[in-house]
Structure 1
Amino acid sequence: MDPQSGLPRCYRHPDTETGIRCTRCEKPICPQCMVSASVGFQCPDCVRNGSGTGHAPDANRPRTLAGGRVETDGRLVTKILIGINLALFIAVQVLGDRFTDQLVMIGYAYNPLLGEVVGVADGEWYRLLTSAFLHQEIPHFLFNMIGLWVIGGIVEPELGRIRYTLLCLLSGLSGSALVYLVDAPNQASLGASGIVYGLIGSWVVLARRRRYDMRPVFLFVALSLLLTFTRPGISWEAHIGGLVGGALVTFAMVHAPRERRELVQYGVCGLVLLIDLGIVLARTAALT
């Protein structure tokens, strides 16, 4: 405690005075260390350990808006996704077109470099996801990574790691599925735009659920869609597919009733997955 002000100092930051204490262990915590709980705030140690009062860890652990666990690092999954994108971007620069052609989104086409028919319709379903983490050009890579970092930093703490991971994967898959359905079968597509636009759709739902002022949110979405449909070389299918998929998943995440929350949340995730798979199967049948 500071003898001059009478305020205690944060147990993790001794130079910072604070009037807030952890609701579990009552240690003084500063704004940087406070983790919002259902009642008051908790310190990172109690959140990490899930204890401090002798009760069951899961019962007392603070929860996100969607019912996930509150974590001290609210961007861990986002960092991992950016790391995957960075690793593949470096691989593309080093290994060149031959590497890219093996992972890019292609419906059905003959590849002269490989000397064979390739594409999702030929059984290479992995392209639906690998293409969502692949970039060739620096501006494209930087634009998507900035979007992932900024919007992901808003969405991930609201959903929790598991639900956020499902959101990103289903957004990317939904974007690729719509590309596969609409684009010419030999049209190549790549980039994390489906995931980023899925996060935008998620952000809209979360802002509405939190009763924020929706005007700046809708303005951002309108500008994003304007860029989607006016800039050449943009895969609008990936953007729209990701946007719709992300919004649907998040709506289920934050509006599911408490008594059967996980059943509804994961059930809707499964439904979105089935819709994507149905699109892929129908398009494959049409191409083959």
Structure 2
Amino acid sequence: MTDQAVRCYRHPDRETGIRCSRCERPICPECMVNASVGFHCPECVRDARREAQATGPRTVAGGSVAGDPRLVTKILIGLNLAVFLLVQALGDRLGDRVVTDLALVGAACDRSGCFGVALGADQWYRLLSSMFLHQELWHIGFNMLSLWWIGAPLEGLLGRTRYLVLYLLSGLGGGALVLLLAAPNGATLGASGAIFGLFGATAVFMRRLRYEMRPVLILLALNLAFTFLWAGISWQAHIGGLVTGALVAVGMAYAPRERRALVQWGTAAAMLLVVLVVTWAAVSRITG
């Protein structure tokens, strides 16, 4: 029989169930160094110190550590609230016009003419603008609370730039699936697709860092149940955002340190390409 026990890489005579959260080598209690996220081995601690001296402190994903690790989340919440208040302040007629101009629509017509993503490249902005548009108080309230609870910790883990890219790609991925699978004349709006992407990314990083997965999985399951059981919810946006966010997070979480930037930004670029291809396929379906 062979010994299958996991042993500390520095002390082969000691069994352990803990691994370094950076390099994943097994480490015993003597070798464990407390970090902001998990434990590090002595070699990774030394590497991190050299890296910090050369480039400044870095997050787990390799982003720069910011003075306010929740700034982007605050800005995103502020933008959503600003658009919501603008729509409310303009009243029914002008507010409805703003909603019509910003919502994600494949192809539709009203008294002012026809509009939608399928009508030309100048309408593709709706994939982005619809992410910041809400009409109902409960809708924006639920989304902004979720964005703060899920997004703020994730921003601290990723750094500002990676977090913003993840958020926007998740929202775009949700919108692309809406165009592909939903009725073309229906209007879709809200930040839910991007927020579901943050849920997916959180699950990926919790797995990567060997944290307890049950809380986030239970929360995700409840939100998915709400997606399919509550009328008027765009399940396409939620699923598209969830899958996009999880895939982008895999590239960010598991990129090898020596090629981290290449793998992370390559993954993001690949997902953007997928979004564009799916959007093109949706436009072809609508116009064909």
Where do 5+ consecutive residues of structure 1 fail to align? 1-34, 40-52
Answer whether contact 2:104 2:130 (CA < 8 A) is retained.
Answer: yes
The residue type paired with residue 188 of structure 1 is A
Distance 2:203 2:110 in 1: 40
1:117 to 114, 117, 123: 114
- Percent identity reads 54
The CA deviation string for residues 38-90 of structure 1, in whole angstroms up to 9 with x for no partner, is: 99xxxxxxxxxxxxx9x997725221111001112110000010111011101
Residue in structure 1 matched with residue 25 of structure 2 by the alignment: none
Answer whether contact 2:52 2:58 (CA < 8 A) is retained.
Answer: no
Answer whether contact 1:105 1:119 (CA < 8 A) is retained.
Answer: yes
Answer whether contact 2:51 2:57 (CA < 8 A) is retained.
Answer: no
Where do 5+ consecutive residues of structure 2 fail to align? 1-34, 41-48
SS of the residue corresponding to residue 105 of structure 1 reads coil
How far does residue 189 in structure 1 lie from its aligned partner after superposition?
0.5
Residue in structure 2 matched with residue 197 of structure 1 by the alignment: 196
1:236-247 counterparts in 2 under 5 A?
Answer: 236-247=235-246
Distance 2:230 2:209 in 1: 33
Distance 1:86 1:58 in 2: 40
Residue in structure 2 matched with residue 279 of structure 1 by the alignment: 278
1:78 to 66, 69, 73: 73
TM-score, normalised by the number of residues in structure 2: 0.79
The residue type paired with residue 73 of structure 1 is D
Residue in structure 2 matched with residue 231 of structure 1 by the alignment: 230
Distance 2:219 2:52 in 1: 40
Residue in structure 2 matched with residue 171 of structure 1 by the alignment: 170
Structure 1 outlier segments of 4+, above 3 Å: 35-39, 55-58
Residue in structure 1 matched with residue 64 of structure 2 by the alignment: 69
SS of the residue corresponding to residue 149 of structure 1 reads helix
Residue in structure 1 matched with residue 213 of structure 2 by the alignment: 214
Between structures 1 and 2, the one with greater helix share: 2
The CA deviation string for residues 78-134 of structure 1, in whole angstroms up to 9 with x for no partner, is: 00101110111011112210111000010001122xx21100011200000100110
Distance 1:70 1:148 in 2: 20
Answer whether contact 2:107 2:118 (CA < 8 A) is retained.
Answer: yes
The residue type paired with residue 54 of structure 2 is A
Answer whether contact 1:106 1:180 (CA < 8 A) is retained.
Answer: yes
Distance 1:181 1:104 in 2: 16
Residue in structure 1 matched with residue 131 of structure 2 by the alignment: 132
Across the aligned residues of Structure 1 and Structure 2, the Cα RMSD in angstroms comes to 1.9
The CA deviation string for residues 156-185 of structure 1, in whole angstroms up to 9 with x for no partner, is: 011000000100000000010000101111
SS of the residue corresponding to residue 172 of structure 1 reads helix
Distance 1:36 1:215 in 2: 21
Distance 1:56 1:163 in 2: 19
From the superposition, tell whether residues 58 and 138 of structure 1 become closer, same or farther in structure 2 (CA, over 3 Å): farther
1:26-41 counterparts in 2 under 5 A?
Answer: 36=36
Distance 2:263 2:152 in 1: 25
How far does residue 222 in structure 1 lie from its aligned partner after superposition?
0.9
Distance 1:283 1:146 in 2: 32
Distance 2:89 2:276 in 1: 33
From the superposition, tell whether residues 209 and 56 of structure 1 become closer, same or farther in structure 2 (CA, over 3 Å): closer
The residue type paired with residue 257 of structure 1 is P
The CA deviation string for residues 217-255 of structure 1, in whole angstroms up to 9 with x for no partner, is: 211111111101001110001100111111111110010
